[in-house]
Each structure stands twice: as C-alpha cells, then as structure tokens.
Amino acid sequence: MKSDFSSPQRQSLVGVVVMFGDTLQSTLRSLWPFLLVWAFRINQMNRLYVVTVIGAALILTAVIAYLKFYNFTFFLDEDNEEFVIRKGILNKSRIAIPLDKIQQVNINQSLIQKFIGVHSLEVDTAGSSKKEVTIKAITHDLALSLKERLLESEKNYTGETEATDNSRRDAAHPYISISFASLLKTGITSNYARSFALLFAFVITIYQNIEDYFEGEGYENDPLDEYVNGEVLIKFAAFIALAIIVLTLLVNLSRTILKYFGYTITLQNKSLLLSYGLLNTKNTIIRPEKVQIVAVGRNYFQKKMDIQDVRISQASNNDDAKEQQKEAIEIPGCSEVEKDELLTFLLGQVPQKGEGLKPNIRKIILNTVRFIIIPLALYFVFAIWFYNELFEYMIFLPLYLAFIISMIYFGYRNSRLYSTKDFIIKQSGAWDVDNEFLAPHKIQAVRLTQYFWQKKANLGAIKLYTAGGNLTFSVADYSRLKELANYWLYNVETTDKNWM
C-alpha cells in the first residue's frame, strides 16, 4: 500500500524524544562556559535552588521540543511538484523544494533513534552546500516510501510509479556484502599514520606534564633520574612504542567496526543502496551518473589479504576540497572481485592503465626541502635560542628522518598519471597507494600552472576540476601536460556524454 504524502503530516509521536535530545544538546553547547563556572560553585549554592533550576530548564526544554514537533509538518505538492516543509515556533517558515532539484535523500539512524524505533531523513538539493531539510523522526517504511517519491523525476508519478512499484521492489537484491572478517582486516591495516601520530602526541604530552609536575613541586632533580640509565631508557622507549602500536590497532579496529558494521550494498533501480553502521546506521544511494571520481586504495598488508578500500565522490555543490573528501562514500574491505564489480557498475568497465607520466626527480628535492630541511632548521633555531629543552627530544630525530625519507622516496616512486581514451588515472601515495579514476567527460575545468623558476626546466602542474573533487599532478613535464589538457578538453567538447 502506497503512502499518501499529499496532505500535511507530522513526524512520529515518539520523535518528541529526539527533539528533546537535540534541543538539550544544542542548549548545553551554547551555554557550556556558564555551566562550567556554575559546576565549580555548586557546593556553595542551595541544593533546593539547584534542583529547581535544573527541573525548570528540563521542563522548558521539553515544552520547546514538543512545540518543534507539533509545528513541523511536511507534504508533497503534486500540482507544483514540490516538497513542502513548515516549521518554527515563534518565527514560522515554509520551505518549498522543487522535486527536480533534489539530488540525494539519505536515511540515517542514531543510537537514540534505534532505541525508540525511528529514522531520520535528510534531503540534499542542488545549489546548497548543506542538507536542505532533515526529518528527525520517521518510521522506516514511511522513510523508504518518501525517499522513493522524492527521487522520482517523472511528472506523471501517480500513474507510472504505481505500475512499476512492485517490479522495482522485486528487482532489489543484495549486490555486495562486506563480511565481518573483511572489516577486521581493514581495521588492523588502515589509518596507521593518523592514529599513531595522535597517540604519540598524547604520550609526549603526558611525559611533559610529569616533568612540569616535578618541577612545580620544587624538585631540583627529577626523582626518576637516579633510576634511569641507557638500558632502562631503551626498554621504556620500546615499551611505549609497542603500547602505541597496540593502541593504534585497537582504535582503528573499533572505529572501523562501529562505523561500517553490517555493510550491505543492494542493487535497486539501476542504483546502489548502501546501508551500514553499528550504533549510527546510515543509508544512502549511489547513482552511476552522479559519480565523478572513484578511488581505490590499499597498502602492502591489504594487498596480501586481498582487500582494498573504495572511495566514491559524487556530484556536490560544496566547493571546499576538505568538505568534498568528507562527503565521499567509503566502501571498506572489498575483495578484488568485489572491486571489479563496483567499478564495472559505476564506470561501465574496469579502467586499464595506459601511457604513464611520472614526476620529475626535482619533486624529491622539493619534498626534502619542505619536510626535512625546513623543519630541522626551525627545530634547531628554537632549541638553540628559545627552548633548550627541545634538545631532550633529539632521540626521536633518527626515527623522524627514517620515516620522512621513506615516505618521500616511495611517494615519488608511486606517483604516476595515466591517460587512456576512456579514463584518467592518478596513482599516488607512499604506504597507502591510491588509484583515482576519472572519465574525461566529467571534467568541468582544467588549470595548468608553471612558476617562473620552473620554466627553464619545463616543469609545471595540472589540476582537473570536477563536481565531486579535484585531481592534481605536479612537478611534471609541462609540454606533455599541455598536450594532455588539450586532448581531454577536446574529448569534453566532442563527446555526447553528460557529466551528470
């Protein structure tokens, strides 16, 4: 039975709980400085006064939450082909979204929504970098029905969709399911650098706080100095390094399982429906025509375990590169067969690498200056003239140099730009090697850059702009880059394919 959205309707009644939680959370975030001061003085206040204030605040929050729920309605205006939302308590507003402007509809479920059995529905439209509308409490069946209707582009929806609804539901079937074993492999083989750096910084901070404590207590010498010698220091450093590695694996494993547990991909109506998450469940749709860039990444251990991560960038209205990366959809732990199936469905075929262009050897020199010479120069300047305590960390310099040198070398060796008739492939990365696939007809702009000191060596960089992100390749043969740019622009002008 098809749901009727022609008349205004409210969210699920239990959505008041979600509204209460969101209102309370936003209030605490805005008033946290005052609440912090109040918490330190709570022992000096009258207990009855404190309980009365807290009770009144909770009652007021509950009233606001109910009014938000009561005044929030949504419906479909079939005559004007618009999705209409009315909301607000004192300042009421009416939002009308043309159906042909809707790009994406996502169904998510947070932990509190799981407890009360509702979902949230987010609507993303063209011309906005933010989620246009979020319905925070709606049943799963109603969310699916509304999502299907909002993504339907035909004008004569009532007649045609009713005729094809059953066939669409029957056509939906599991396409790929990421197993728990694959998530375990992904968790212990990914995101080393970020997690290790955070934990290492945490250990250094703890060590510095201990030093400051002994100094603040008036000890002329560190009490631990008499127990510490070279052998003990080496054992302690090895223990800390091992502890950081173990914690890094545990953090990555926990993050991967919590975020991607139960990852299933369903093929439905020429689109992919993705569902995943242990505590916060997310559902999103991928349409091949909206896909701009597909990236496949793996490291040495993942290669041995036959897993890789697929990252999909769809058309977005956000111009910020970091935000575009956050919006990219990740599919972790894919096998070689699953990866090929995804690429074939999204790109029409599995891209093959053609003629390769590699960066000039000067890229190694440039990165050496950026990541070794300049940081070490700054370190010694501050250590000699400002903070002599920095010399205590000299023991970590060999590790830093070994790490950076290996990253520079392997980053250069893996850096390539491949070009074929159908695809542009950028390969990059030192440890995690990524291959980014872009069809030339998705290109919206090309930028060639050559600084004055690069002219003599005939070097430069190229940047390809798409609606889902950018590809950059630098310190390469400038003449060859111009040839490739002209070839790709020619393909854009002559192809009969659309970028979306």
Residue 232 in any domain: the answer is yes
Q: Are residues 33 and 119 in the same domain?
A: yes
Residue 389 in any domain: the answer is no
Domain count, the chain: 3
Burial class (CB in 10 A: 0-12, 13-18, 19+), 471: buried
Structure tokens at 239: 């223990």
Question: What does 143-174 look like in DSSP terms, one character per residue?
Answer: HHHHHHHHT---S-HHHHHHHHHHHHHHH-EE
Question: Which of 123, 145, 171 is the last residue in one of the domains?
Answer: 171
Is 23:64 a contact under the CB 8 Å cutoff?
yes
| Whole-number pLDDT of residue 350 | 93
Which H or E element spans position 323?
A: helix 321-327
Q: Are residues 445 and 302 in the same domain?
A: yes
Q: Are residues 352 and 466 in the same domain?
A: yes
Q: How far apart are CA 429 and CA 414, in angstroms?
A: 6
| Whole-number pLDDT of residue 448 | 95
Question: Which of 128, 151, 171 is the last residue in one of the domains?
Answer: 171
Q: Are residues 154 and 180 in the same domain?
A: no
Residue 401 in any domain: the answer is no
Is 472:462 a contact under the CB 8 Å cutoff?
yes
Angle between helices 15-40 and 47-71 (to 10 degrees): 150
Which H or E element spans position 311?
A: strand 308-314
CA dihedral (247, 249, 252, 254) positive or negative: negative
CATH of the domain at 419: 2.30.29
- Residue reference for tokens 């075929």: 349
Structure tokens at 143: 């969310």
What is the pLDDT tens value at each position of the chain, 500 positions in all? 567 788 888 888 887 888 888 888 888 877 777 777 777 676 777 778 778 888 888 899 889 889 988 999 999 988 888 899 999 888 888 998 888 888 778 888 888 888 888 889 988 875 554 566 889 888 888 888 888 888 775 434 334 433 334 444 444 567 889 999 999 999 888 776 665 666 566 666 666 666 665 566 555 555 555 555 556 656 666 776 677 677 777 888 888 999 999 999 998 778 888 999 988 888 888 888 889 999 999 999 999 999 999 999 988 766 666 766 777 899 999 999 999 999 999 999 999 988 889 999 999 999 999 999 999 999 899 888 888 877 877 887 888 899 899 999 999 999 999 999 899 999 999 989 999 999 999 999 999 999 999 999 999 999 999 988 899 999 999 999 999 999 999 988 888 887 76
CB 146: neighbour CB atoms within 10 A?
Answer: 21
Domain carrying residue 453: 287-359+415-494
What 444-447 contacts at long range (C-beta under 8 Å, 24+ apart), as own/partner pairs, is 444/499, 446/485, 446/488, 446/489
Q: How far apart are CA 206 and CA 61, in angstroms?
A: 40
